[in-house]
């Protein structure tokens, strides 16, 4: 079954404690993206990747890092999380000009 | 710069009535336009897209959208609403070519269908 998976689905952490949210797709898609969703703001793109070792900033990249060492994986790294990064995060991969989304990761930073 | 506006935060409609969720866009060049739906505590599901061709696009669950270039609009429609259509709907505009991975979302419209 074609899908985008994210882990963990829920995470509560404290300010400054480094964390990684994993994203994986089994469809051999080249493009992958990360978004955050906040009430009243819709979804905003954090980073996207066009292929292995090729990434670019989206609209809200501050405080985040990404890497794309293999085609199937696109982890999102928060080196020093802060409370304003409390949000719902979605990973997506692109096929035929359309982005398909993972189930989301709800992150709370205390 | 590319942007999307959804002028209504909420749309309420009675079951069986037609529904419209509005979207306008601002892009340079020809747009890729999308509608997604988010049910409570779920991820985003792709509904339909306009890339080129016929201005009326049909998608999942009986939804359709009309691309209007002169009005820069891409309104989502359904002839007869169901209670199960109640959800959060997002319009988005996508990049082309070198910006293919970019996707710009509107703020979302909460659709409530009353029984």
pLDDT tens, B33-50?
A: 999 999 988 889 999 999
User: Contacts of residue A100 in chain B, CB cutoff 8 Å?
Assistant: 46
Q: Find all residues with CB under 8 Å of A52, minimum gap 6, and list them.
A: A68, A69, A70, A71
Residues A42, B108: C-beta atoms closer than 8 Å: yes
Q: Per the structure block, which two tokens stand in for B67?
A: 């691309």
Q: Does B8 touch chain A (CB under 8 A)?
A: no
- In this prediction, residue A2 has a pLDDT band, given cuts at 50, 70 and 90, of low
User: Contacts of residue A59 in chain B, CB cutoff 8 Å?
Assistant: 104
Do residues B72 and B23 touch, judged by C-beta distance below 8 A? no
Residues A97, B32: C-beta atoms closer than 8 Å: yes
Of B49, B102, B104, the CB nearest to A98: B49
Separation in Å, CA A36 to CA A39, A68, A93, B97, B105:
10, 19, 15, 24, 11
Among A70-74, B32-36, B98-102, the minimum mean pLDDT is found in B98-102
Among A94-98, B47-51, B53-57, the minimum mean pLDDT is found in A94-98
Distance (Å) from the alpha carbon of A89 to chain B's nearest alpha carbon: 10
| Residue A1, pLDDT score | 64
Among A73-77, A99-103, B42-46, top mean pLDDT goes to A73-77
Distance (Å) from the alpha carbon of B81 to chain A's nearest alpha carbon: 23
pLDDT in tens, B58-96: 999 999 999 999 999 999 999 999 999 999 999 999 877
Q: Does B36 touch chain A (CB under 8 A)?
A: yes
Segment A81-101 mean pLDDT: 93
Do residues B60 and B54 touch, judged by C-beta distance below 8 A? no
Residues B101, A104: C-beta atoms closer than 8 Å: no
């Amino acid at each position: 079954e074609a899908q985008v998976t994210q882990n963990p689905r829920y995470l509560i952490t404290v300010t400054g404690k480094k964390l990684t949210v994993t994203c994986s797709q089994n469809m051999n898609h080249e493009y992958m993206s990360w978004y955050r969703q906040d009430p009243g703001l819709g979804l905003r793109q954090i980073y996207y990747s066009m292929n292995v070792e090729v990434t670019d900033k989206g609209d809200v990249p501050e405080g985040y890092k990404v890497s794309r060492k293999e085609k199937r994986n696109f982890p999102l790294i928060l080196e020093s999380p802060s409370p304003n990064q409390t949000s719902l995060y979605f990973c997506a991969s692109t096929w035929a000009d359309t982005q398909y989304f993972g189930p989301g990761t709800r992150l709370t930073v205390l | 710069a590319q942007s999307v506006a959804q002028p209504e935060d909420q749309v309420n409609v009675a079951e069986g009535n037609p529904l419209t969720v509005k979207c306008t866009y601002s892009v340079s060049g020809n747009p890729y336009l999308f509608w997604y739906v988010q049910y409570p505590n779920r991820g985003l599901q792709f509904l339909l897209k306009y890339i080129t061709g016929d201005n009326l696009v049909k998608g999942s669950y009986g939804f359709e959208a009309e691309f209007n270039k002169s009005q820069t609009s891409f309104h989502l429609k359904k002839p007869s609403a169901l209670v199960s259509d109640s959800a959060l709907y997002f319009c988005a505009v996508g990049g082309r070519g070198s910006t293919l991975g970019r996707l710009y979302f509107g703020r979302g419209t909460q659709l409530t269908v009353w029984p």
